[in-house]
Amino acid sequence: MLRRIYQFLMIYLLGVAVLLAVKYGLGLSDYVIPGPALILKTSQAEIGRYATDVTDTLAVAVVGQLLAIVLALMVGITGRRTSWIGSFVKVAAYNIQAYPIVALAPIIFILLGDGFVSRLLIAAMICYFPLLLSVLGIMSEPVDDIEHFYRQTGRMRWQLEVKIRAFENLSKLTTVVAGSATLAMAGTIVAEFIAANDGIGYSIRIALYQSDLAKILAALFAIGITISIYQGLLEYGGRLCQKAWTGRSPDE
Amino acid sequence: MRLECRNIQFCYPDTITPILEDLSLVLDEPGLHGLFGPSGVGKTSLAKILAGTFQPASGQILAEGLQNIFYCHNLERLPGWSSVGRHLERITPPDNVALKDALIHQFGLSACLHRRFGKLSLGQRNRVNLARYLVQDLQMLIMDESLANVDESTRSTILMTIKETFPRACFIYISHNVVEVARYCNQIWVLRGPGKHPQAVRIQGLDAHVTTSANPHTLEKAMLEMMNA
């Protein structure tokens, strides 16, 4: 988890340094790009409120991601079959994921309003399709050298088939789930940015209307630290899960 | 029991040259039989056809008194989420628990029961895999290089154990070890490349048992026949 936080801090500081270089290189005013003192002062003033906003956004993203995982597993398990329904699910998933889901967000806001449900739905939809494609890929690929015995002896059941394929691709699955956290967070922020009245995306929208880059930088800092911790926790959970199931550490 | 292949023709998808062409053979008695031939001649394809995994393009498979034909090979793995012993317990039919214990002892697997499959040596993996097929209710088992990576003495013990423990079942042993096939198998079907007629030639093996010792001249004759078929 610390590695993720270090990596984020390095990238964040590098980004701020580039902004400051542009500011001083082109002689821009504090109104366009604030100086280090103003960034620090604004961050100190706003970080508490932004931390609450990010927690709100993260809560929506986590629930959205869980929904997406459950749905992707259900559809992925159905779509693994070689029957017509499996082919139909696969073709539909590949085609729908090619469409930018975020473009559908205005429809959701029009139909469901700008509350919690809209944010949740957009977060879930944005991380659902990449998850689904990964789960479909994993579940459709037979592990012949293990499955052969069960097929030969008539012991193969769909639950066992899913268990074998999940087990054999456990590290891929945990990586995909950890990676989808970023997508869920991005989806929630985009939803808040478009129309919601809560969360860090909403705060960024207000800062944008005020043309206050220092506030935006403070919000980005809060988002980055939060998502680093969340992803770190997911990866740690994935490693624990792998160790418990396979009897060995993923690094072995 | 009787297993007959009549004029089998088979070619892999996206290929035009058949790997098996007008192949016919008959197995009409239980015991350990061999399927021998150079790499790529179609032994595994024929085994999978017999086990029902592949369908021949034409020809017939007639099986009398053979309800369960299993095919096992040396590249199989056990799931890694439990120990080998636990896996064997789960897949052994209740009536065959004593048989499982006996096979574990005779195959030299007692020491590795608490370990997971991935932690075993290649030879141990193949022995465990073979043992789990043998504890099923089977009438025929096709063993495709199932004793690869197992030392010669243990291979001999395993083949003898199979012959003694399952006198009424039929085993087809696929191996490139000409001495072993000639010594332990009863009927040996040597597959020859496509274009040769007949594609499968039957040779009499020594069918060695514990009580009999192989005559070196007979063994040499069988091996020469196999190599020159």
DSSP string of B49-89?
HHHTSS--SEEEEEEES-S-EEEEETT----TTSBHHHHHH
Residue type, B56: P
Lateral strand order in the sheet of B58-64: B20-27, B2-10, B58-64
pLDDT attached to residue B219: 83
The rounded distance, in Å, linking the Cα atoms of A80 and A103 is 29
- Select the residue of B75, B81, B136 nearest A167 (Cβ to Cβ): B81
A3 touches chain B (CB under 8 A): no
Which pLDDT score is estimated for A90?
Answer: 76
pLDDT of residue A91: 80
Cα(A130)–Cα(A127) distance, integer angstroms: 6
Would you call A167 an interface residue with chain B, using a CB distance cutoff of 8 Å? yes
Tell me the range of A81-90, A128-137, A160-169, B203-212 where mean pLDDT is highest.
A160-169
Domain A2-246: state its class: mainly alpha
What sign for the dihedral angle of Cα B75, B78, B79, B84? negative
Distance CA A24, CA A15 (A): 14
Model confidence pLDDT, tens digit, residues B73-104? 999 999 999 999 999 999 999 999 999 999 99
Q: Is A18 exposed, middle or buried (0-12, 13-18, 19+ CB in 10 A)?
A: exposed
- Using the predicted structure, report yes or no on whether residue A248 has a pLDDT greater than 80: no
Segment (H or E) for B91: helix B84-91
Could you tell me where the DSSP H helices lie in chain A?
2-26, 36-79, 84-97, 105-112, 116-140, 144-152, 158-168, 170-194, 199-209, 213-246
pLDDT band at A94 (very low <50, low <70, confident <90, very high): confident
pTM: 0.83
Can you tell me the distance from the alpha carbon of B142 to that of B127, in angstroms, rounded to the nearest whole number? 14
CB B142 within 8 A of CB B170: no
Minimal-distance CA residue of chain B relative to A145: B76
Q: What is the CATH code for B2-76+137-228?
A: 3.40.50.300
DSSP state of B116: B
Q: Worst-scoring range by mean pLDDT, A43-52, A233-242, B171-180?
A: A233-242
User: Which residues from B are below 8 Å from A246, CB to CB?
Assistant: 80-81, 116
Residue A252 pLDDT: 61
B108 vs B104, B131, B145, B147, B164, CA distance in Å? 6, 11, 19, 13, 17
Give the pLDDT of residue B48.
Answer: 94
For A247, the closest of B70, B116, B132 (CB atoms) is B116
Beta bridge partners of B191: B200
Is residue A77 classed as helix, strand or coil in its secondary structure? helix
- In chain B, positions 8-27, which contact chain A (CB-CB < 8 Å)? none
Between A81 and B220, the more confident residue is B220
Q: pLDDT tens, B132-148?
A: 999 999 999 999 999 99
Of B49, B36, B43, residue with least CA distance to B204: B36
> Which residue in B208, B108, B209, B88 sits closest to B150, CA to CA?
B108
Stretch B54-78: mean pLDDT, rounded?
91
Nearest to B204 by CA among B174, B181, B228: B181
Token reading at B67 = 């309800």
CB distance A191 to A118 below 8 Å: yes
Closest residue to A148, CB basis, from B76, B81, B91: B76
Mutate to test the interface with B, among A143, A146, A147, A149 (most CBs of B within 10 A): A149
**Which segment, A191-200, A214-223, B7-16, is predicted with the most confidence on average?**
A214-223
Instruction: Give per-residue pLDDT as tens, A164-210.
Output: 999 999 989 988 998 899 999 999 998 898 888 889 999 999 999 99
Chosen from A144, A146, A147, A153 to mutate, greatest number of chain B CBs within 10 A = A153
- Token pair 């199932």 is at which residue? B146
Residue B211 pLDDT > 60 = no
Q: Is the pLDDT of residue A222 over 60?
A: yes
Q: What is the pLDDT of residues B194-208, one digit of tens each?
A: 778 888 999 999 998
CB of A19 within 8 A of CB of A33? yes
- Would you say residue B33 has pLDDT above 90? yes
B211 to chain A nearest CA, in Å?
34
Where does the pLDDT of residue B213 fall: very low under 50, low under 70, confident under 90, or very high at 90 and above? low
Using the predicted structure, report yes or no on whether residue B212 has a pLDDT greater than 80.
no
Question: Quick check: B70 and A246 CB within 8 A?
Answer: no
Chain A interface disruption, residue of B67, B71, B74, B81, most A CBs within 10 A: B81
User: Is the minimum CB–CB distance between A9 and chain B shorter than 8 Å?
Assistant: no
Residues A142/A164, Cβ–Cβ less than 8 Å: no
Task: Share the mean pLDDT of chain A.
Answer: 89
φ and ψ of B31, to 5 deg = 120, -170
- The sign one gets for the Cα dihedral B56, B53, B24, B59 is negative
Give chain B positions within 8 Å (CB) of A245: 81
Does A155 score more than 70 pLDDT? yes
- Could you tell me if B73 and B144 are in contact, meaning their C-beta atoms sit under 8 angstroms apart? yes
Number of A/B CB contacts below 8 angstroms equals 39
Domain boundaries, chain A: 2-246
Q: Which helix (H) or strand (E) holds B204?
A: strand B200-204
Q: Examine the pLDDT at B214 and tell me if it is beyond 80.
A: no
Q: Structural domain boundaries of chain B?
A: 2-76+137-228
Compute the Cα dihedral for B32, B37, B40, B43 and give only its sign: negative
Return the pLDDT at B220: 85
